[in-house]
Each structure stands twice: as structure tokens, then as C-alpha cells.
A and B are shown apart, each in its own frame.
Chain A
């Protein structure tokens, strides 16, 4: 089954404790991206990747890192999480930029 898989689905952590949210797709898509969704602000792009070893900032990249060492994986790294990063995070992939996008189930992160 074609899918985008995120882990974990739920995460509660403390300020400053590094964490990684994993994202994997099995559709051989070139384009992958991360979004955060906040009430009243909608979906905003954090980072995206056009292909392996090619990443770029989205609209709200501060406080996040990403890497794309393999085509299927695109982890989101929070080196020093802060409470303002409490949000619902989505990973998405598409064959190429602008093509139909497929989303993961989301990761609800709470930073206390």
C-alpha cells in the first residue's frame, strides 16, 4: 500500500531535549516536505527536499533541521525544542514538486 509513515504519532517532551520525528514514503517520490498545523494559522511549510541531499527552507524553518540521505526518508530534527514548537506536524511527499501530495498521519508534539 502506497503510504507516508510518520513516527511517533504522539510525543510529549521537555524543553531543550533533542528529538527526531521520522518520515518514510514507499512511492519512490522525489519531493518531500514537512508542515506544521496550528489553530488559526493553518498549514505552514517548515522544510522541503527536492531529492536526495537537496533540502531547502520553507516558511517557518527556525528551530528545525532536516536531512535527506535516502530517497525514502526525511526526518525532522528539533535540536532544542521550545514550547512554541508545540504543534501538529505532517510529512508529505509527491512524485515531484507541484504533483499530487500524499500526507502522513501526523505527529502531535507537546513541549513542556
Chain B
């Protein structure tokens, strides 16, 4: 059964820093991986979707990479801003199954 972990559980950084969030999964036969952002009291917002055949995806200051063989994905946030403060979740999809979510990384960017 697919298991997803995220490290660190929480992270606090000063504004302007570049940072990396990590996502690990146990079953490397994934179809795709999706990164989400969750703001307090709100739903999940899709940030990036990486297909299993891709190495990385970029959107603005965000870059997500995928290494299937090692069961890892990273979300890189450049020049962090206070508005980036949120919980970041990764979700892994194995074909024929359902999305499995990680527990999330709670990010605080301090002004």
C-alpha cells in the first residue's frame, strides 16, 4: 500500500529565502504526483502536477521535481514571501488506485 511522508512537518523562514519541501513515497510505480497548497479554513489549491514521465514542472516561483526511482519529489519555492505561508501537501496517484496524500508541511514566512 502506498505511503507518503513529508519532511519537515513545519518550517519557519525569513522572507526572501529559497526553500525546499520534501515528499517521499514507498511505491515508485506512480502515475503522477500533485502538489497542493492549503490555507487555514480553506480548501486545497492545486499548484503543480507532474506526470510520471516528467522530471520537473515549473510555475512562477515554484519548481517541483520528481525522482521516481528514489521515491522522492521536492517543491522548491524561490524568494519566499509572507503570502506563501500555508500548508503544502503532496499527493501521489498510482494507476487504478486513488490519490494518497502526505501529512503536509506547514510553512511560515516571516516578514
Contacts and interface: CB of A to CB of B under 8 A. Distances in A.
Contacts of A92: 44
B98 A106 contact: no
B102 A45 contact: no
A4 B42 CA distance: 12
Interface string B20-45: 00000000000110101000011111
Contacts of A43: 89, 91, 101
Interface stretch (A13-21, A74-82, A95-103): A95-103
Contacts of A100: 34, 46, 49
Most chain B CB inside 10 Å of its own CB: which residue of A33, A98, A100: A98
Given A98-B31, A101-B34, A45 B99 contact: yes
Nearest to B95: A98
B103 interface: yes
Interface in B40-63: 41-46, 49
Nearest to A92: B44
Nearest to A107: B43
Nearest to B104: A42
B93 interface: yes
A48 B93 CA distance: 14
A102 B101 CA distance: 14
A86 interface: no
Nearest to A108: B41
A90 B43 contact: yes
B57 to A, nearest CB: 11
Given A42-B101, A98-B31, A98-B93, A105 B46 contact: no
A58 interface: yes
User: Which of A90, A92, A101, A106 neighbours the largest number of chain B CB atoms within 10 Å of its CB?
Assistant: A101
B42 A106 contact: yes
A105 B41 CA distance: 8
5 contacts: A40-B103, A45-B99, A98-B31, A103-B46, A106-B42
Interface of A: 4, 33, 40, 42-43, 45, 48, 58-59, 90, 92, 97-98, 100-106
